Amino acid sequence: MIKKRDIILAVVLIVIGIIMMICISLLRKTGNRVLVYEDGRLISSYELAEDGEYEIKTSEGSNTLIIEDGIAYVSKADCPDKICVKMKAISKTGENIVCIPHRLVVQISGDGQSEYDAK
Amino acid sequence: MLMHEKKKNIFAAFGICLMIVALISVIIVSGRKKSGNMEYKSTGISMGTVLNITVYGEHGNESISDITSILDNLENNVISWRSKNSQVYKLNNEYKPGIPYEISSELAGYIRAAKELYEVGDGMLDITVRPLADLWGIEDGKNHIPDKNELEAALAKVDMQMLEITKDETYHEAVIIDDEALSIDFGAVGKGIAIDKVYEYLKKSDLKGACVSIGGSVVLYGEKPDKSSYRIGIKNPRGSYGEVMGVLELYAAKDGLFISTSGDYEKYFIKDGVRYHHILNPQNGYPADEGIISATIVCGNGLISDGLSTLAILLGYERILPVLEKYDADAVIIDSDMNVYITDGLTDNFILEDETYRVME
Q: Do A93 and A108 form a contact (C-beta atoms < 8 A)? A: yes
Q: Which residue has the higher pLDDT, A34 or A17?
A: A34
Whole-model pTM above 0.90? no
Residue to mutate among B52, B238, B259, with most A CBs inside 10 A, is: B52
Looking at chain A, the whole-number percentage of residues with pLDDT higher than 90 is 51
In this complex, the residue of B13, B230, B243 whose CB is nearest that of residue A88 is B243
Q: Do A14 and B21 touch (CB under 8 A)?
A: yes
Which pLDDT tens digit goes with each residue over B240-266? 887 899 999 999 989 999 999 999 998
Q: Do A118 and B213 touch (CB under 8 A)?
A: yes
Residue B22 has pLDDT above 70, yes or no: no
In chain B, at which residue ranges do the beta strands (DSSP E only) sit?
39-46, 49-56, 101-102, 163-167, 173-177, 209-214, 217-222, 230-235, 244-250, 253-263, 268-271, 274-277, 292-299, 330-335, 339-342, 350-352, 358-360
**Strand pairing of B101-102 and B173-177?**
antiparallel
Which string of b and e fits A15-24 if b means at least 16 CB within 10 Å?
A: eebeeeeeee
The single-letter DSSP state of residue B288 is: P
Query: In whole angstroms, how large is the CA radius of gyration of chain B?
Result: 26
Which pLDDT band holds residue A8 (cuts at 50, 70, 90)?
A: confident
Q: Do B48 and A100 touch (CB under 8 A)?
A: yes
Residue B191 has pLDDT above 70, yes or no: yes
In chain B, the residue whose alpha carbon lies closest to the alpha carbon of A84 is B241
On whether any CB of chain B is under 8 Å from the CB of A34, the answer is: no
Q: How many CB atoms lie within 10 A of CB B179?
A: 16
Query: What's the Cα-to-Cα distance from B334 to each of B124, B138, B356, B359, rounded to whole Å?
Result: 19, 22, 12, 9
Q: Do B28 and A18 touch (CB under 8 A)?
A: no
Backbone phi, psi, residue B352, to 5°:
-75, 135
Q: Do A119 and B234 touch (CB under 8 A)?
A: yes
Check if the interface score ipTM surpasses 0.90: no
In this complex, the residue of B13, B43, B244 whose CB is nearest that of residue A107 is B43
Which pLDDT tens digit goes with each residue over B212-251? 999 999 999 999 999 999 999 999 999 988 789 999 999 9
Angle at A62 between CA B70 and CA B212, to 5 degrees: 25
In chain A, the residue whose alpha carbon lies closest to the alpha carbon of B10 is A6
Which pLDDT tens digit goes with each residue over A49-100? 999 999 999 999 999 999 999 999 999 999 988 889 989 899 988 889 999 9
Query: What's the Cα-to-Cα distance from A110 to each of A28, A72, A94, rounded to whole Å?
Result: 11, 14, 8
Q: Do A14 and B20 touch (CB under 8 A)?
A: yes
Lowest-confidence segment of B2-16, B55-69, B346-360 by average pLDDT: B2-16
What is the pLDDT, as a whole number, of residue B93?
96
Which pLDDT band holds residue B37 (cuts at 50, 70, 90)?
A: low
Which pLDDT band holds residue B5 (cuts at 50, 70, 90)?
A: low
Which pLDDT tens digit goes with each residue over B292-338? 999 999 999 999 999 999 999 999 999 999 999 999 999 999 999 99
Number of helices followed by number of strands (H, E) in chain A = 2, 7
Q: Which long-range contacts (CB under 8 A, 24 or more apart) does B86-91 make?
A: B88/B184, B88/B185, B88/B186, B91/B175, B91/B184
**Which of chain A's residues have a Cβ under 8 Å away from the Cβ of B243?**
88
In this complex, the residue of A1, A39, A119 whose CB is nearest that of residue B244 is A119
What is the pLDDT, as a whole number, of residue B118?
97
In this complex, the residue of A6, A39, A117 whose CB is nearest that of residue B13 is A6
Question: How does the average pLDDT of chain A come out, rounded?
Answer: 88
What is the pLDDT, as a whole number, of residue A97?
93
Backbone phi, psi, residue B285, to 5°:
85, -5
Residue A19 has pLDDT above 50, yes or no: yes
Query: What's the Cα-to-Cα distance from B248 to each of B15, B77, B196, B333, rounded to whole Å?
Result: 53, 34, 20, 13
How deeply is B188 buried, as exposed, middle or buried, from its count of CB atoms within 10 A (0-12, 13-18, 19+)? Answer: buried
In chain B, the residue whose alpha carbon lies closest to the alpha carbon of A93 is B41
Give dist(CA B162, CA B101) in Å, integer.
14
Residue B30 has pLDDT above 60, yes or no: no
Question: How does the average pLDDT of chain B come out, rounded?
Answer: 91
Which pLDDT tens digit goes with each residue over B100-116? 999 999 999 999 999 99
How many residue pairs from chains A and B have C-beta atoms closer than 8 A?
100
In chain A, the residue whose alpha carbon lies closest to the alpha carbon of B21 is A17
Q: Which residue has the higher pLDDT, B210 or B20?
A: B210
Q: Do A40 and B230 touch (CB under 8 A)?
A: no
Looking at chain A, the whole-number percentage of residues with pLDDT higher than 70 is 94
Residue A28 has pLDDT above 60, yes or no: no
Identify the CA nearest to B227 among candidates B29, B33, B34, B38.
B38
Handedness of CA B29, B35, B40, B42 (dihedral sign): negative
Residue B69 has pLDDT above 90, yes or no: yes
In this complex, the residue of A14, A18, A40 whose CB is nearest that of residue B42 is A40
Lowest-confidence segment of A4-8, A20-24, B204-208 by average pLDDT: A20-24
Number of helices followed by number of strands (H, E) in chain B = 9, 17
Q: Do A98 and B42 touch (CB under 8 A)?
A: no
